[in-house]
Amino acid sequence: MRSGWPLRPLCRCARFVSGGTPSKAVSEFWEGDIPWVSSGEMTQTRIHDTPLRITAEAAQAGSRLVPTNTVLAVVRGMSLANEFRIAITKREVAFNQDLKAFACEPDVEPEFLFYALFARRENIRELSTEASHGTKKLETQILADFQIPVPPIDIQRRAVNLISTYDDLIENNRRRVVLLEDAARLLYEEWFVRLRFPGHEHTRIIGGVPAGWQQVPFSALADFVNGYPFAPDELGGNGLPIVKIPELRAGLSPTTPRNTGENIPERYFLQDGDLLFSWSGTLLVEFWYDGPALLNQHLFRVETNDSCAPAFMLQALRQALPNFTNQTTGATLRHIRKSALTTVKTMLPPRALLTQFDKLASVIYLQILSLRRQNSSMAKARDLLLPRLMSGEIAV
């Protein structure tokens, strides 16, 4: 990127801070109030919360606290083979040893640093080297020497104000999606877990199962199509994006790798609204919302039959995730065997009740689809503008 702004090495923009993992053997360290960030949460660019939380004692004993508006980056892990993950905290957090935090110098705005690095994330990723067990790492000295254009702080703030408009809109939509997801989940739990469905007052419960309902394996409700095992020579920079677990978690198409789709069977092509279930590593169930793509192995596309609708299947699978987790196997990368789809069961209500649920839940997911499409479009527009803005090519 050409720039009229003076270049500065990253070590002169911020002080590097290392994190850590509190002992899992000390129960008092966990279930606290402090979000603890690992590589998995770094698929989002703004960190508001995390599934795992630690206590203040744990932060002192085995991790590191950083304040709001601290830039975090993944410097070790398998994700570096495909992307450089960078985020900015929106509250005080702790983080693990696979991440670095950047405590900015007084004349560097944290959000400017975040966007400057985000705009160059592919260049930074290419600097990673091999680590043990097939993972990648970014050497601290390589990061320290990496140069970015740094204008005066008033220009930094103007640039941030311009580009953050996109992220503010994306964040607002993300919060609306969370509320809508909660609404669909609570509806499912009210009807099919707590059994307060329409007409429950007049329905007999026998052994915990309402009359007319069935306990059925998931394999009886859908076909679970495993993704395509792409070989290294089938990956490139052109064609359709290949959706893997990180992309499913983020809900966005990857920039790389890609495949033209030639000679790939039709069953591996994805479209908006396809229901996906990751069965390896992170067990996760989501609808796909980011346009035509190809399905990687370790993900099932769930093709429901006439027994139920996708909106019901999504919630039923999510409700059953603890049971699937109990079925996982493997020493290093935990996964479920396809036989678990026959072993793990769900309650199937009568068709009339399923139709009622689908009418309500489908409206919710259509709204979610619209919001996520908007977010995808805004993220792509932001990413087109960002390199020119962060290089000084566009005057602010």
Could you state, in order of their start, the residue ranges of all structural domains in the chain?
A: 7-150, 173-375
Query: What's the whole-number mean pLDDT along residues 24-45?
Result: 91
> CA dist 357 to 110, 191, 238, 316, 354, Å?
46, 9, 41, 12, 5
Per-residue pLDDT tens over the stretch 76-98: 998 888 789 999 999 999 999 99
For residue 273, give the DSSP letter: T
pLDDT band at 68 (very low <50, low <70, confident <90, very high): very high
- Whole-structure pTM over 0.95, yes or no? no
DSSP calls for 115-182? HHHHHTHHHHHTT-EE-GGG-EE--HHHHHH-EEE---HHHHHHHHHHHHHHHHHHHHHHHHHHHHHH
| CATH level 3 topology of 173-375 | Adenine-n6-DNA-methyltransferase TaqI; Chain A, domain 2 (3.90.220)
Asked whether the domain spanning 173-375 has the same topology as the one spanning 7-150, the reply is yes
> Collapsing DSSP states into helix, strand and coil, what is residue 274?
coil
Query: What's the whole-number mean pLDDT along residues 22-50?
Result: 91
Query: What's the whole-number mean pLDDT along residues 189-216?
Result: 94
Provide the percentage of residues in the chain whose pLDDT is more than 90.
Answer: 72
DSSP calls for 1-36? ---SSPEEEGGGTEEEEE-----TT-GGGEEEEEEE
Per-residue pLDDT tens over the stretch 257-306: 788 888 899 999 999 889 999 998 889 999 998 889 999 999 999 999 99
CATH of 7-150, one of 2.60.110.10, 3.90.220.20, 2.60.290.11, 3.40.440.10: 3.90.220.20
63, 94 in Cβ contact below 8 A?
A: yes
Per-residue pLDDT tens over the stretch 116-132: 999 999 999 999 998 77
Which residues, in sequence order, are CB contacts of 112 under 8 Å at separation 6+? Answer: 150, 156, 157, 159, 160
